[in-house]
Amino acid sequence: MESISVLDMFKIGVGPSSSHTLGPWKACLKFTDRLGGNIENVKRLEVQLYGSLAKTGVGHGTDVAVMLGLTGFDPETFDTEYIDSTVGGIRAEKKLHLNRTVWIRFNPDTCIHFLKNEMLPYHPNAMRFLCELEKGSLIRETYYSVGGGFVVQEDDDELSETEHVALDYPVESASDLARWCRQTGLPISGVVLENEKAWRSEEDTRNSVLKIWEVMRDCIYKGCHTDGYLPGGLQVMRRASILNNRMMGDKPYRDYETWRRAIRDGGEGFDYILDWVSCFALAVNEQNASFRRVVTAPTNGAAGVIPAVLQYLVTFRENHCADMVFRFLCTASEIGTIFKKRATISAAMGGCQAEIGVSSAMAAAGLTECLGGSVPQCLMAAEIAMEHHLGMTCDPIGGLVQVPCIERNTMGAIKAITASQLALYSDPDKAKVSLDAVVKTMWETAQDMNSKYKETSDGGLAVNIPISLSEC
Ligand code: SF4
């Protein structure tokens, strides 16, 4: 049984895409690491991108991720302010400092190949490294970016990305999770915390999860205070800062905490709260679209849903408290792992239901636990949230993670809150659809979905909204 930690589900990285940016970046790090001593003898290096990675790779920044990954930068810590200058330098000089060890000739125009009409069998997001060494030998390695920043190397199985760890309470399905909660008397977050002890101490887990929240809220705050247009040529204007300015008016604040309190004290009407939830989600995804630091939750395209719902919780429903944040994220994470194990969190496999749908289900469960819901109500909230995302396609205009992606996060957040409210007032024993049934349905829907709606920009809005190629 696959064991996935909360820190696997929530990864600190760089936008705009977990599968097309973070995954390829990590594949490059893995590849250069595996080169070992051979790195000194690299004569020529080419990277081939297949399937969805090729079709939407330019808009999703896959080429940028390849260059930064091959240079050996860590996506969690690399200062995103330097992305343009670093990549611009490689393009201009046509050389790359491989793993910051040896300089090689590398012209991105001729060394990164977007093979739009070719697919590899295991997964639509495939990439292959062809590396020629000085004495003529060739190293060829293939990797798959399987969604959410998880990477698999060919011939490995999927667990190669996550450690094989024996957990006290292994969970493969929602019914497993419910059973463990019943047997131990723990909430979902309690079961997660017990399992996380297999990886690290409770204190380390708590600190790491709170660090995740710190990055999320920093992203919200920065996004609410950055204006202008998003990169990529679609001329999409940032709206979070406009909304923030309109709603804050001249209320004074100086940092995140004073801003949060000013929002909380500023009103409680339906429109007011709705606008703020939208604003939080827009803020994250505008940062994501701008190649800024975000948390994969469980993907980058859907990175705004969970922070927006958690920000809603700590602003409008409860006082900010570390333990509540921890419980929210642990519960949300466990729901995400069930979708990853039994269906997919990759849009290239399942369309947008696998991204926004899963993030909404995760957020709904986290919110429900923090608002005092029982375990069956948490599972019911996750089920409701996914049920109303079934069949949602992925059709990003211009291959950019902007339209419809950014607004879609606002919808995912609001659906999560609605799902939680419905579950809190419902009797789960009377529910017609279980979470396991909806996970199965989502996976079957994914398999039936036409490939043009799976992160290829070959269908949907991507072909019906005319854009000038010169603009993109
Ligand atoms: S449409 Fe949905 S799945 Fe596709 S890139 Fe946008 S957010 Fe991701």
Mean pLDDT of 177-204: 98
Q: For residue 466, what pLDDT is reported?
A: 76
395 CA → ligand 1 middle, Å = 7
For residue 471, the CA-to-ligand 1 centroid distance in Å is: 21
CA nearest to 222, candidates 300, 304, 142: 304
Q: What ligand 1 atom has the least distance to the C-alpha of 355?
A: 3
**pLDDT band at residue 468 using 50, 70 and 90 as cut-offs:** low
User: Is pLDDT above 50 for 471?
Assistant: no
Mutate to test the pocket of ligand 1, among 145, 400, 408, 456 (most ligand atoms within 8 A of CB): 408
Binding site membership of 301 for ligand 1 (Cβ less than 6 Å) = yes
* pLDDT at site 164: 77
- Counting from 1 in the atom list of ligand 1, the atom nearest the Cα of 395 is 1
User: Residue 405 C-alpha to ligand 1 middle, in angstroms?
Assistant: 5
Distance separating alpha carbons of residues 78 and 83, to the nearest angstrom: 8
233 Cβ partners below 8 Å, 6+ apart? 398, 470, 471, 472
The verdict on the CB of residue 343 being under 6 Å from ligand 1 is no
pLDDT above 90: residue 183: yes
Looking at the chain, the whole-number percentage of residues with pLDDT higher than 90 is: 94
Distance from Cα 406 to the centre of ligand 1, integer Å:
9
pLDDT digits (tens, 9 = 90+) for 298-345: 999 999 999 999 999 999 998 879 999 999 999 999 999 999 999 999
Residue nearest to atom 8 of ligand 1 (CA): 301
Q: In degrees rounded to 5, what are phi and psi of residue 294? A: -140, 170
Q: Measured between alpha carbons, how far is 425 from 44 in angstroms, rounded to an integer?
A: 62
Beta-bridge partners for 44: 132
Q: Take atom 4 of ligand 1 and give the residue whose Cα is closest.
A: 394
Ligand 1 neighbourhood includes 396 CB (under 6 angstroms) = yes
Distance 296 CA to ligand 1 centre (A): 13
398-407 per-position pLDDT tens digit: 999 999 999 9
Domain positions in the chain:
16-160, 174-464
For residue 200, report the distance from its CA to the centre of ligand 1, in Å.
33
- Burial pattern 284-313, b for ≥16 Cβ within 10 A else e, equals bbbbbbbbbbbbbbbbbbbbbbbbbbbbbb
pLDDT digits (tens, 9 = 90+) for 76-127: 999 999 999 999 999 999 999 999 999 999 999 999 999 999 999 889 999 9
Q: Round the average pLDDT of the chain to a whole number and report it.
A: 95
Its CATH architecture, for the domain 16-160, is 2-Layer Sandwich (3.30)
Give residue 360's pLDDT. Answer: 98
Distance 1 CA to ligand 1 centre (A): 29
